[in-house]
Amino acid sequence: MLLIKNGRVVDPGTRTDAVLDVLIDGQAIADIRPHIEAPGAETVDAGAWIVAPGFIDLHCHLREPGDEPSETIQSGARAAARGGFTAICPMPNTHPVNDNASVTRSIVERAASVPVRVWPIGAVSKGSLGESLAEIAAMKDAGIVAVSDDGRPVATAKLLRQALEYCQALGLPVIDHCEEPSLFAGAVMREGPRSVRLGLRGMPAATESIGVARDVQVSGLTGGRLHIAHLSAAQSLDLVRGAKRRGLAVTCEVTPHHFTLTDDEVVYDSRFKVNPPIASKQDRDALLEGLADGSVDAIATDHAPHEPAKKDVEFDCAAFGMIGFETALSLALEQLYHSGRIGLDRLVELFTTGPARVLGIARQLAKGEPADLTLFSLDHPWTFHAEESASLSRNSPFDGRSFRGAPMMTVVAGRVAWRR
The beta-strand segments (E) located in 359-401 are: 373-383
Task: Report strand pairing: 373-383 vs 146-148.
Answer: unpaired
Catalytic residues: 302
Q: Say how far residue 387 (Cα) sits from the centre of its chain.
A: 22
**Comparing C-alpha atoms, which of 110, 36, 33, 31 is closest to residue 66?**
110
Question: Is residue 22 classed as helix, strand or coil in its secondary structure?
Answer: strand
Residue 119 · residue 177 · CB < 8 Å: no
Task: Report strand pairing: 121-122 vs 202-203.
Answer: unpaired
CA distance 344 to 158: 41
CA distance 239 to 236: 5
Q: What residues contact residue 142 under an 8 Å CB cut-off, 6+ apart?
A: 101, 104, 105, 108
Question: Is residue 282 classed as helix, strand or coil in its secondary structure?
Answer: helix
Which stretch of DSSP H or E encloses residue 9? strand 2-11
Residue 33 · residue 6 · CB < 8 Å: no
For 83, phi then psi, to 5°, come to -90, 0
Is 292 exposed, middle or buried, given 0-12, 13-18 or 19+ CB atoms closer than 10 A? middle
CA geometry: angle 175, 180, 183, nearest 5 deg = 150
The count of residues in the chain is: 420
CA distance 250 to 245: 10
